[in-house]
A = this chain, B = another copy of it.
């Protein structure tokens, strides 16, 4: 039996009548006080999603069992708010990693960054400024599979709940992605689905766009195609070169990535098919 505390309950299941009633009944009978509640029904997929914050004295295992018995088909997640164990992968650009390390150092990220891993060496000094382990896992002379095996060994030793790709510029194999299904978050340097692939700012410049953007998304087996968590844009003009656009883009990228991580780490994001439901 825990002390009075706050909990987060997440439930998703096929939609049917009375779901909210049955769930809130169980909470009410245990004298738990709902302080925040969101529901959404994806009518295309007839699927129900609910996130509740509640307060009170509560035995988590008992409550979880009772809810599961009442809703056998549901996926139930029940936990206290807590910092997530995270490993950050990056390559050579400092802006996203640096921003995360700063937020981490000042408690703004609901995460514990356990290590920074890169396929290159440059960012080691940045990780060390913040006293974090840095691993250089070079891909030189290795096949993609060999490199990922090496990568996985290092990652796995930290038992992260989430991998954050903070401008990690290598493509992950479906096999690797499957190991961290729905737990890899990437920042893509464009307003997806525009400019999929490499050199998006060069593409954006060539196309003469007046706005550029950035997209944070879950990584799935299809490159750049996973569910979108957050997007933002910034206006540009003909006076901007491709490299000016890239610089403007970096400011959007780091803010969008941080926003997405906040949403995910606060348990505010559900994935429904290829779309996200965000209870903000």
Contact = CB atoms under 8 A, between A and B. Distances in A.
A41 B36 contact: yes
A33 B25 CA distance: 17
A38 B229 CA distance: 21
Contacts of A25: 21, 25
B193 A192 contact: no
Contact of A207 (B24, B193, B230): B193
Contacts of A255: 251, 255
Main secondary structure of the interface of A (DSSP, over half): mixed
A39 interface: yes
A237 B277 CA distance: 8
A79 interface: no
Could you say how many copies of this chain the assembly holds?
A: 4
A280 interface: yes
A250 B38 CA distance: 27
Contact of A17 (B33, B206, B251): B33
A21 B237 CA distance: 26
A6 interface: no
Given A102-B98, A278-B237, A228 B208 contact: yes
A75 interface: no
Interface string A10-46: 0000000110110011011001111111111111000
A35 B41 CA distance: 7
Given A194-B192, A251-B258, A232 B211 contact: yes
Interface string A161-196: 000000000000000000000000000000111110
Q: Which of A231, A258, A278 has the most CB of B within 10 A?
A: A231
A144 interface: no
B108 A247 contact: yes
B233 A211 contact: yes
A95 interface: yes
B40 A20 contact: no
Contacts of A33: 17
A18 B258 CA distance: 35
Given A35-B43, A99-B102, A191-B194, 6 more contacts: A17-B31, A34-B39, A108-B247, A207-B274, A210-B230, A211-B232
26 contacts: A17-B33, A17-B34, A18-B24, A20-B37, A21-B27, A24-B24, A35-B41, A94-B102, A98-B102, A99-B102, A105-B126, A108-B247, A129-B129, A192-B209, A193-B207, A193-B209, A194-B194, A207-B228, A207-B275, A208-B227, A208-B228, A209-B231, A211-B232, A235-B235, A238-B278, A251-B255
